[in-house]
Structures are given as structure tokens and as C-alpha cells.
């Protein structure tokens, strides 16, 4: 796919989907925790969990008042709760020890936090701090490769490919558009190609 078609895909999706995440948060720290919880979990479920959790535990200091067992009980329904609880408590300690309790604003510093990988760092960097980044989750990986924006076999290669074919100013919003497209039309099991708003731009060339 060429850059002109890629740009047209972004422009088309911009009139359909929001460039904001579905996760609910009111601070960079809340966003960071929510993104950690969202791994292999729906945003709706995460929002239900954080609505309760963030009532009393919405800063690193407050979060560390919880033991791992206590935190696990709050986030149990998100799945992978033991690992997620460990990561949330570890990154909270790192924030206090290294960054005076504040979420850092650079990708390098975000990835230095315990339990924070590239995807999570990219989301926080782009959403909380308006940085240009592409976070490749399962939706972005599937959709970007299926429609032909990239041809890659790993999330990192997909991210690199998207960074090359998309204008840097479109990176962050395109990430959201591809997620929503994946949830609404370009689903994993049975994509709704006939009603897809970018069918004519898709390299699969499925006819209406």
C-alpha cells in the first residue's frame, strides 16, 4: 500500500471514529494503571473495575497502601490479576522512587517503569502527553496487516511499518481508529466487510 492510500484511510476513519481511548481516566497515573489492566481484557470491564478502584487508590502513594492480595481482589475480573497487581504495585514504587510520584513524559522513562512495556508506554505517551506514537495491540496488529497497511509478523514490525507509511502527525489518532475499526467491523472471527467504511481501500479487495 502507498502513503496516499494510507492517508485516505486515516481521513476516512477520522469522520467515523474518535481519536480518544475508551478507557476512563482523570490523570496520567490512572491512565497508566488502566492500560496495564486492559491487557487481554475489554475496556468496558476495565472501566467498571477502575471506577471502584480509583475512588480511594488513584495515586502511587494511595495504591501502595494496598497489599498485593488486596489489589488482586479489586482487579480480579480483569484477568491475569496476579501479574497485573504485581506490575501496578511495582510501577507505583518506581514512580515514587525515581520520579517523585509523577508519571514521566518520555517513552524511555515510561519503559523504565517495572511492568511497563512498549505498547503501554506508547499509549500513555500519546494519550496523556500528546506524543506521536503507535501502540500495537491485537486489534491494530490484525487490522493493519489485514487491510494492507503493513505486511508484518510481529507487533514491533507492525509498529515500524505503520510509522513508515503514516505521517507522524497521524500516528496516535490512527492507532485509535484501527482499534475501533477492529472492534466494529474488522473483527477477528468474522469481519463485516460488506459494511466496512474503507472496503474500497482495503487490499483484500472483497467485493460488495
Residues 183 and 139: beta-carbon distance below 8 Å: yes
C-alpha cell at 198: 474503507
| pLDDT attached to residue 207 | 46
96: exposed, middle or buried (Cβ count in 10 Å: 0-12, 13-18, 19+): middle
DSSP 124: H
Would the pTM count as exceeding 0.95?
A: no
Q: What is the CA radius of gyration of the chain?
A: 18
Could you give the angle at which helices 81-99 and 28-37 cross, rounded to 10 degrees? 150
Which residue matches cell numbers 499509549? Answer: 123
pLDDT tens digits for 155-208? 999 999 999 999 999 999 999 999 999 999 999 988 999 999 999 999 875 543
Residue 137 among the catalytic residues: yes
| pLDDT attached to residue 208 | 39
DSSP 203: T
Catalytic pick from 84, 94, 137, 170? 137
Residues 178 and 143: beta-carbon distance below 8 Å: yes
Catalytic pick from 84, 94, 119, 170? 119
For the chain, residues with pLDDT lower than 50 are 207-208
Q: SS3 breakdown of the chain: % helix, strand, coil, rounded to 5?
A: 60, 0, 40
Residue 192 among the catalytic residues: no
| pLDDT attached to residue 205 | 58
| pLDDT attached to residue 203 | 86
Residues 71 and 63: beta-carbon distance below 8 Å: yes
Amino acid at each position: 500500500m502507498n502513503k496516499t492510500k494510507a492517508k485516505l484511510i486515516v481521513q476516512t476513519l477520522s469522520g467515523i471514529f474518535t481519536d480518544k481511548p475508551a478507557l476512563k481516566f482523570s490523570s496520567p497515573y490512572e491512565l497508566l494503571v488502566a492500560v496495564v489492566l486492559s491487557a487481554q481484557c475489554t475496556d468496558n470491564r476495565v472501566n467498571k473495575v477502575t471506577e471502584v478502584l480509583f475512588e480511594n487508590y488513584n495515586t502511587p502513594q494511595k495504591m501502595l497502601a494496598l497489599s498485593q492480595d488486596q489489589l488482586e481482589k479489586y482487579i480480579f475480573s480483569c484477568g491475569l490479576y496476579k501479574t497485573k497487581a504485581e506490575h501496578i504495585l511495582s510501577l507505583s514504587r518506581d514512580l515514587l522512587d525515581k520520579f517523585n510520584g509523577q508519571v514521566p513524559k518520555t517513552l524511555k522513562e515510561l519503559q523504565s517503569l517495572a511492568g511497563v512495556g512498549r505498547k503501554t508506554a506508547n499509549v500513555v505517551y500519546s494519550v496523556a502527553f500528546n506524543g506521536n506514537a503507535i501502540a500495537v495491540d491485537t486489534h491494530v496488529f490484525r487490522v493493519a496487516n489485514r487491510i494492507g497497511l503493513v505486511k508484518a509478523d510481529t507487533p514491533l514490525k507492525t509498529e515500524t511499518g505503520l510509522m513508515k507509511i503514516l505521517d507522524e502527525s497521524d500516528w496516535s489518532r490512527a492507532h485509535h481508529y484501527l482499534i475501533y475499526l477492529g472492534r466494529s467491523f474488522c473483527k477477528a472471527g468474522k469481519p463485516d466487510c460488506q459494511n466496512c467504511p474503507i472496503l474500497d481501500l482495503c487490499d483484500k479487495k472483497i467485493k460488495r
